[in-house]
């Protein structure tokens, strides 16, 4: 599964930093409790791995997909085609292993990757209207699905004018979280409580505090409040640091409670460890390592996001390929353009059209036409470097996507491609023929200029200049 590969990438990057933290900490713990120190140290790395796999990875995937604008096509339509949206969401589910959804503001409908579609009715679909009217963060994580509770990562979406268009994101079953937490608790003895900005307990390894499914058909999910936890008052009274660690007394004995802030979601994490006198010094050191490790993880957040973008690009290029030319197709072109298009980043697009391909096919047959397409595909790829890619756009039309390329550079590449095609001998049986291709170029720094917009401009420039045999240059919008 793609999601397993994603986790391996993320863990590989983080493990180097974690090894440094654990290795340095080993030599600072008191020798009096040396054996216990080693046992505590062995649980540090799994804490970070658990946090990465269960929280950070789905958050990164949801945010990266949304920021890349992969849902814009559907959100910008008044009411998108249901079958198209479901098929696209299912494709994402198969690739990453999570449930995906799209909540459309204009159509007032929610589409889920499992095929479900329902109307967003105020008073019935509570989460949508509650989050829509909140503006403290564009990234939210909430519980939903009263019959099978999931944690959903919700990303607010806007159009080019800044108008709200809906939510997109992914969900993971609460039972999957509980299973992971239980395995960790059994092995290392730590408990977890994740609390949102409303002071609600969103996730917990403690069964009595974990959210519960709705009992009645129209009921709501049973969510506990952190203020209901018996040791919280004592913890708050003792705490003086911004992210403190304190020993508190509970009905189950003394506990070491460490509090950390998860800034991206505006959550609080309470890490709870049962104590005895000999373990106290070790567990305080452990809490410090956890705090340091969480800081490191957020520092490498952008690095992991870049890796995810690269991984998405590889998956898309493998799945979205033109069968004849072996070049990426239009679907991959839109993903690649979205990933590379950033504010103030120059993008250049070259449109190339094979001249008189239909007439050649009519004269020499479809096999000859297919052979021409394959050879020209190779010529275009040979003339491209770095991040530039060639795409089969239509039957006789190709598009070159060139991130960070100036108009001058794009023009020189187009000229090279044009000359290479004109000098290439195309053979049909015993006959050799020279072919030509027409080119149009569009270059822009405007973030609002989508791939379709730039291709259209370059195509118009191509047709204007076609009669003269020159390369068409689209005027800046």
pLDDT digits (tens, 9 = 90+) for 306-348: 677 777 777 777 788 899 999 999 999 998 998 888 766 789 9
Q: What is the mean pLDDT of residues 210-239?
A: 78
Is it the case that residue 74 has pLDDT exceeding 90?
Answer: yes
Q: pLDDT value at position 469?
A: 87
Smallest Cα–Cα separation from 122: which of 136, 139, 135, 105?
A: 105
Mean pLDDT is lowest, of 204-218, 243-257, 275-289, for 275-289
Q: pLDDT value at position 35?
A: 44
30 or 464, higher pLDDT:
464
Is it the case that residue 271 has pLDDT exceeding 60?
Answer: yes
Residue 405 confidence class, pLDDT cut points 50, 70, 90: very high
Is it the case that residue 2 has pLDDT exceeding 70?
Answer: no
Q: pLDDT value at position 419?
A: 95
Q: pLDDT value at position 37?
A: 42
Residue 3 confidence class, pLDDT cut points 50, 70, 90: very low
Is it the case that residue 277 has pLDDT exceeding 60?
Answer: no
Per-residue pLDDT tens over the stretch 291-304: 666 666 666 666 66
Q: pLDDT value at position 214?
A: 57
Is it the case that residue 240 has pLDDT exceeding 90?
Answer: no
Q: What is the mean pLDDT of residues 91-112?
A: 93
Here the tokens at position 290 are: 């956890």
Q: pLDDT value at position 237?
A: 86
Find the helix packing angle between 2-26 and 82-96, rounded to 10°. Answer: 40
Q: pLDDT value at position 285?
A: 62
Here the tokens at position 470 are: 């020159």
Task: For each of the domains in the chain, give its residue range(s) and CATH number, in order of start.
Answer: 1-172+179-189+277-319 (3.30.450.20), 321-473 (3.30.70.270)
Q: pLDDT value at position 372?
A: 93
Q: What is the mean pLDDT of residues 406-435?
A: 92
Q: pLDDT value at position 288?
A: 67
Q: pLDDT value at position 477?
A: 61
Q: What is the mean pLDDT of residues 411-438?
A: 92
Residue 4 confidence class, pLDDT cut points 50, 70, 90: very low
Q: What is the mean pLDDT of residues 389-417?
A: 95
Residue 31 confidence class, pLDDT cut points 50, 70, 90: very low
Q: What is the mean pLDDT of residues 273-282?
A: 60
User: With pLDDT > 70 as the criterion, what percentage of the chain qualifies?
Assistant: 78
Q: pLDDT value at position 174?
A: 73
Mean pLDDT for the chain overall: 81
Residue 41 confidence class, pLDDT cut points 50, 70, 90: very low
Is it the case that residue 23 has pLDDT exceeding 60?
Answer: no
Is it the case that residue 146 has pLDDT exceeding 60?
Answer: no
Range with top average pLDDT, 180-189, 223-232, 304-313, 417-426? 417-426
Per-residue pLDDT tens over the stretch 11-20: 454 454 445 4
Is it the case that residue 353 has pLDDT exceeding 90?
Answer: yes
Is it the case that residue 32 has pLDDT exceeding 50?
Answer: no
């Amino acid at each position: 599964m793609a999601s397993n590969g994603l986790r391996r990438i993320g863990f590989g990057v983080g493990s180097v930093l974690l090894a440094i933290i654990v290795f340095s900490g080993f030599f600072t713990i008191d020798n009096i409790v040396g054996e216990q120190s080693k046992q505590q140290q062995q649980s540090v790395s799994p804490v970070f791995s658990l946090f990465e796999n269960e929280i950070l990875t789905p958050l990164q995937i949801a945010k990266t997909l949304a920021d890349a604008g992969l849902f814009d096509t559907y959100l910008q339509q008044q009411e998108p085609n249901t079958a198209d949206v479901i098929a696209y969401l299912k494709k994402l589910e198969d690739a990453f292993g999570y449930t995906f959804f799209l909540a459309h503001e204009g159509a007032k409908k929610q589409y889920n990757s499992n095929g479900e579609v329902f109307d967003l009715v105020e008073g019935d679909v509570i989460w949508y209207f509650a989050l829509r009217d909140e503006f403290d963060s564009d990234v939210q994580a909430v519980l939903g699905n009263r019959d099978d509770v999931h944690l959903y990562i919700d990303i607010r979406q806007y159009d080019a004018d800044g108008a709200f268009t809906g939510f997109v994101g992914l969900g993971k079953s609460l039972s999957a979280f509980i299973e992971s937490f239980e395995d960790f608790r059994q092995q290392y003895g730590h408990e977890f409580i994740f609390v949102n900005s409303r002071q609600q307990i969103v996730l917990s390894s403690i069964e009595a505090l974990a959210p519960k499914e709705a009992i009645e058909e129209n009921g709501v999910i049973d969510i506990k409040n952190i203020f209901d936890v018996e040791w919280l008052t004592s913890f708050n009274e003792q705490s003086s640091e911004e992210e403190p660690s304190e020993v508190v007394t509970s009905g189950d004995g003394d506990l070491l409670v460490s509090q950390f802030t998860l800034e991206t979601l505006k959550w609080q994490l309470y890490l709870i460890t049962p104590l005895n006198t000999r373990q106290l010094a070790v567990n305080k050191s452990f809490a410090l390592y956890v705090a340091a490790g969480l800081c490191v993880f957020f520092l490498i957040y952008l690095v992991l996001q870049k890796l995810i973008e690269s991984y998405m690009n590889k998956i898309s290029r493998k799945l979205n390929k033109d069968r004849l030319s072996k070049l990426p197709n239009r679907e991959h072109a839109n993903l690649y353009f979205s990933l590379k298009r950033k504010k103030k980043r120059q993008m250049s697009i070259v449109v190339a059209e094979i001249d008189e391909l239909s007439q050649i096919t009519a004269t020499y047959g479809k096999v000859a036409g297919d052979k021409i397409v394959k050879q020209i595909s190779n010529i275009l790829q040979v003339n491209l470097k770095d991040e530039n890619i060639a795409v089969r756009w239509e039957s006789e039309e190709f598009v070159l996507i060139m991130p960070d390329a100036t108009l001058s550079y794009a023009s020189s590449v187009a000229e090279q491609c044009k000359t290479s095609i004109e000098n290439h001998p195309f053979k049909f049986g015993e006959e050799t023929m020279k072919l030509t291709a027409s080119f149009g170029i569009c270059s822009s720094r405007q973030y609002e200029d989508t791939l379709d917009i730039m291709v259209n401009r370059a195509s118009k420039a191509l047709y204007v200049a076609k009669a003269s045999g020159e390369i068409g240059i689209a005027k800046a919008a």
